[in-house]
A = this chain, B = another copy of it.
Amino acid sequence: MEHVEEEPGFEAAADTLREYLPRDYTVQVNGKCRVSYSGRTQSKLDRGDRMILVKQDSALLVHGPDNYQPRNWQPEVDRWSVGTGDGALTIEARRLDPEEVVEIELSSIELVTVSQMVDESELKISGHEVDIHEAIEETPEIVEDGFNLVARERKTPAGYIDVLGRDMDGAMTVVEVKRNPDYNTALQLQRYVDEIEEEFSGDVRGILVAPKLSDEVDGYLNERGLEFVEVDMDDIIQDYKLQDSQSGLSDFGPEYSTG
């Protein structure tokens, strides 16, 4: 940790920011501020306690005291401007494409920290939609007994079909895989079936493969003669279980609840 400055003056904080913002440092500023954004839309946020975080790739986050998401942000900053005056420290974070700017007006500063973080490790994750695809390729009977895969990501005029195959009777079958299916998913599947029926001049089955389905969408599928196959995400995850899993957590204190 290069710096930990508690309640610095505006000039001292500005010096630190001017030095470290444009370089590959993680900079944190806690304090009261107002924030305005102008670009793809416009927004304005009145004074409040916030934590400002500038990451080493110049990502800017303005976090409030709650919520997963920041109250304001700039995913990538091309040009910084730091100024003092009028009893405030101002930070302007400008991006060129798309052109947008976040302005922060700090009226008091509790803490400034500067550090360089090293994090080369990759996030290994299992349970994405692509894992369902791979599971189907490996064991096509997930879709149905006797199902045979013909193509993946097959292009049609209406977009890409996830999986194209034939059932045990040789009937052409369109399979749409979705982690979180919605109404559009059903429309999409219907459209694919129409496309393939036109191309092959014959009846085509359409199957949605997903972990769950709302009643409404299920009803739409039924009306249209489309089918639904439920997959258990636990099975998918278990097939691709992570190696080197953490173990031996020990000596826990008593559990306690939030609130």
**A124 lies within 8 A of B45 (CB):** yes
**A126 lies within 8 A of B61 (CB):** no
Chain B residues with Cβ below 8 Å from A187 are 158, 184, 187-188, 191
Q: How many residues of chain A are within 8 Å of chain B by beta carbon?
A: 99
Q: How far is the CA of A252 from the CA of B251 in the complex (A)?
A: 53
Q: How far is the CA of A235 from the CA of B23 in the complex (A)?
A: 37
Chain B residues with Cβ below 8 Å from A4 are 4, 6, 111
Q: Scan residues 47-84 of chain A and give those whose CB is less than 8 A from a CB of chain B.
A: 47-51, 53, 55-59, 61, 63-68, 71-73, 75, 77-84
**A14 lies within 8 A of B110 (CB):** no
Say whether, besides A125-B42, A188-B184, A257-B22, A64 and B249 are in contact (CB < 8 Å). no
Q: Scan residues 1-57 of chain A and give those whose CB is less than 8 A from a CB of chain B.
A: 1, 4, 6, 14, 18, 21-22, 26, 28, 30, 34, 36, 40-51, 53, 55-57
Oligomer copy total: 2
Q: How far is the CA of A248 from the CA of B84 in the complex (A)?
A: 11
Most B CB within 10 A of own CB, among A82, A245, A249, A258: A258
Name A67's closest neighbour in chain B (CB-CB): B59
Q: How far is the CA of A67 from the CA of B105 in the complex (A)?
A: 23
Tell me, yes or no, whether A176 is within 8 Å of chain B by CB. no
Q: Scan residues 106-135 of chain A and give those whose CB is less than 8 A from a CB of chain B.
A: 110-111, 113, 115-128
Not counting A47-B121, A49-B118, a sample of 8 additional A-B residue pairs whose C-beta atoms are within 8 angstroms of each other reads A14-B253, A21-B258, A41-B237, A43-B126, A48-B120, A80-B258, A81-B256, A184-B184
Which A residues have a C-beta under 8 Å from some C-beta of B? 1, 4, 6, 14, 18, 21-22, 26, 28, 30, 34, 36, 40-51, 53, 55-59, 61, 63-68, 71-73, 75, 77-86, 90, 92, 103, 105, 110-111, 113, 115-128, 157-159, 183-184, 187-188, 191, 220, 233, 237, 241-242, 244-246, 248-253, 255-259
Per CB-CB distance, the 10 closest pairs between chain A and chain B, nearest first, are A41-B127, A48-B119, A49-B117, A85-B251, A46-B121, A65-B117, A83-B252, A57-B66, A43-B125, A85-B250
A/B interface sample: 13 pairs, CB < 8 A: A4-B111, A22-B258, A28-B51, A36-B246, A41-B128, A43-B242, A49-B115, A56-B65, A59-B66, A83-B250, A83-B253, A86-B251, A105-B249
